[in-house]
Structure 1
Amino acid sequence: MNGNTLLIKTNYYSEEQLILLLKDKNENGFHYLYDHYSGALYGVILRIVQSKEYTEEIIQDVFVKIWNSIAQYDAGKGRFYTWMINIARNTAIDYLKSKSFQNELKNQSLPDFVYDSAELSVQDNTSDHIGFSSILGSLEEDKQQLIDMAYYQGYTQNEISEKLKMPLGTVKTKMRSALMKLKDLLKDYQ
């Protein structure tokens, strides 16, 4: 048996093994990826689009994008999970900005699109299986707010600047500081 056959028969893959399986277009790797990361990525998308129906559509696109662009992943630039979150976040934001979504919103009655915010704010343990919420919670409140607005609500830095009535340069400086602090916290987590 070669090394790949041993990888296929196991129930656990390290991040490196999983990436190799995905680059080899191994379906078992894809199933493992979906089983272990769909909850977390679903939570990221849901926080942005705030609709379970749209989230279910987008999550499929996200996994197709991960599958098709795995060769572009560079471990030297960041963690695999962070790379996937960025794909999920960008796909969700692109979906919200798409003409078809905007037209659909215009054609919907208000009650069809308004959801109970309490229901959306309840965290599903599967969407936070790495404990990211507790790591994010250890940041200062202003840093948490910036990361939440940028990565979960889909605001650009210009939009954050306008919404918080803060100079764009200050937003950029604080965002960089928040991300550097978060990076340090994530290193400690590993």
Structure 2
Amino acid sequence: MPVDEYRLRQLIANIVDRDENALVELYQQLLQRVYGLALRITRCPQTAEEVTEDTFWQVWRQAPRFDAVRGSAIAWVMTIARSRALDALRRIDRPETDESAIVSEPVSADTPHDLLNAVQTGSLLQQALAALEPLPRQLLELAYFRGLSHDEIAQYMDMPLGSVKSLIRRTLLSLRHILADDAMLTFTYE
């Protein structure tokens, strides 16, 4: 069913004015698309339902942020849905951490200087990863922490394979540059 962009923009403008009927109509027009995207990303009907609910709740709260100059209304709503679905997926996929195992695990370092270098390098890597934009960080997580191939990531994220490859490569080069610069600053006392 084709979506009337002009009508969607009107509905969002009415939602800014807290018109609940406009939200109901927007929900009715975009429910199948939002749920379909959420289901494709999460692969779980219950999670997709939660994502759909979260998406329209966020539309209600953030309607004043919609800018028709930056893109279409449907793209804005679908971007919110995609973001909510990826957040839900991260919550589901986050491994349970056994803190006692981390504390009791011996650290293998030959000297205190080696231990200091290992701790500083790990901290720098965490800071560099945290500084990344969400999409590049997620692609790296899928590739290096979940072990997905570039093809699997492209399918999983519904992105072109070439985009996945180039974004991962650029992100790795950026990380390498950031870490090299930080290492030069951190370890200049040697």
TM-score (norm 1): 0.49
- Structure with the bigger RCO (C-alpha within 8 Å, sep 6+) is 1
Bigger Rg, which one: 2
